[in-house]
Amino acid sequence: MSHAFMSVDAAADRGGFHPVATSAIARAQRDLGATFEERDGWLVPVAIPGEEAHAAVQIADVSHLTKLELRPAGTPIEGDGVVWYEISPRRALVMCAPSLADAVRAQVGERFSLDVTSGYSVIAIAGPEAETVLRRLTHIHHFPSGGEIAHVQGHVLQRGGGYWVICAQELGQYVWEVAVDRASALGGGPVGVDALGRGAA
């Protein structure tokens, strides 16, 4: 069972209107002078002024990833660029680039599937001081796992040499700003997704 009509990537041009999704963190990034590009139906922050100085730890917004909640968790969905997170035997979250979403949906089978892309913010923390920043945000010490992050509920996944913090979208800007503040004390700060892709994660 799937509610495909709730998918961000189901939006289509109509009557001269061109729908584009934006992250809950976009306003904070605009205030920093971020450059945005439209990618897969999303306005994605690709660069932020001063990001080249943030080699120690980088904070990036990857909320544009497609996020599907599956019930029950069942057999993990795998593949290049696919991230599987079993929250419990009854529930799992699978994330991927929007371009991979159709291939992921084809593996869902008879499980209940709900597109929760717009319901969650995903903040990447990368770089040599990523673990230090995470320790200043949460007491979660094993991954993937859920719990309190910056005094709100969320989840932490290890990704490459860094971490993804997942939280409700309405809390995304708050968690982003706390993470950026913790990173700035270590010589880090916000970066666009393209900087993150140049070996940051």
Domain boundaries, the chain: 66-117
State the pLDDT at residue 7: 53
In three-state secondary structure terms, 28 is: helix
Q: Which residues of the chain have pLDDT under 50?
A: 1-3, 5-6, 199-201
State the pLDDT at residue 18: 60
Report in angstroms the alpha-carbon separations of 33 from 3, 5, 76, 136, 173: 36, 33, 39, 26, 16
State the pLDDT at residue 201: 37
Q: Which residues does 23 contact at the CB level (< 8 Å), separation at least 6?
A: 29, 42, 43, 45, 61, 63, 64, 121, 169, 172
State the pLDDT at residue 161: 87
State the pLDDT at residue 38: 93
State the pLDDT at residue 133: 98
State the pLDDT at residue 160: 85
- 71-94 residue pLDDT tens: 999 999 999 999 999 999 999 999
State the pLDDT at residue 197: 60
